[in-house]
Amino acid sequence: MKIDLDKPLTRGATRTLKAFQSGFFLELSKQSFEKLTVNAVCVASDYPRGTFYNYFDDKFDLCRYCWWTIYQIIRQDLPDDIASAQRPIYLFKRLFSFFKANHTLVSAILAKNERGGQLWQSAATYMREEANAIVLAYCQPIAADGVPPQLTARFYSDLIIAVLEWCLFAEPDIAESTAVQYFKTLLQSS
């Protein structure tokens, strides 16, 4: 990205980034990521291409920004009063709830973008990296029987993403309680 997200953004920059994100998701509900053009995002966002390139290098850069914003929402206000063993479950619920809260948009995007396509591959890669970082920091896995905490965190984050993928693609209308039960069962059986 051409802007530093670690620094405070102006109101104008925040408004512009939100518009590009909304335009991006709107266009993804109409066409595949592979066919998506920067021009289509700009038209949907009501900003010129020059403004787009002030913020992003290309549509892949915008895509990474969109994943980053989703994970900022997930990371926001993670409570400290949850027992360490329950934190992976809480994290899964947060992710699941985010996707369910945006079910209509997510369903429209999934209808136009195949599971093996560039969009989902980008999302899955980013989600795995971020989930791993959050699990490592938030869940503070301890070394069990000589297993390094980083490996335990990777296991938890991979399981979170695997169950989330299942819920999005195999059972898109699944109830949260059932999804959480799947996650708990797999977590306990390992």
Give the pair of three-digit tokens for residue 39: 């021009």
φ, ψ dihedrals at 186, nearest 5°: -65, -35
Neighbours of 65 (CB within 10 A): 19
Question: Which sign does the torsion angle of CA 36, 40, 46, 51 carry?
Answer: positive
pLDDT for res 139: 81
Question: Which sign does the torsion angle of CA 32, 35, 38, 39 carry?
Answer: negative
DSSP label at 99? H
Q: Is the pLDDT of residue 143 over 80?
A: no
What DSSP element (H or E) covers 63? helix 59-75
Local confidence band at 152 (pLDDT 50, 70, 90 cut-offs): confident
Local confidence band at 127 (pLDDT 50, 70, 90 cut-offs): confident
* Distance (Å, whole) CA 77 – CA 12: 25
Q: Is the pLDDT of residue 176 over 80?
A: yes
Give the pair of three-digit tokens for residue 60: 């892949």
Distance from chain centroid for Cα 183: 18
* Distance (Å, whole) CA 153 – CA 69: 22
Q: So where are the chain's domains?
A: 11-64, 81-189
Neighbours of 92 (CB within 10 A): 26
Residues in a beta bridge with 165: none
CATH T-level topology, domain 11-64: Arc Repressor Mutant, subunit A (1.10.10)
Q: Is the pLDDT of residue 32 over 70?
A: yes
pLDDT for res 144: 67
SS3 string, 110-172, reads HHHCCCCCHHHHHHHHHHHHHHHHHHHHHHCCCCECCECHHHHHHHHHHHHHHHHHHHHHHCC
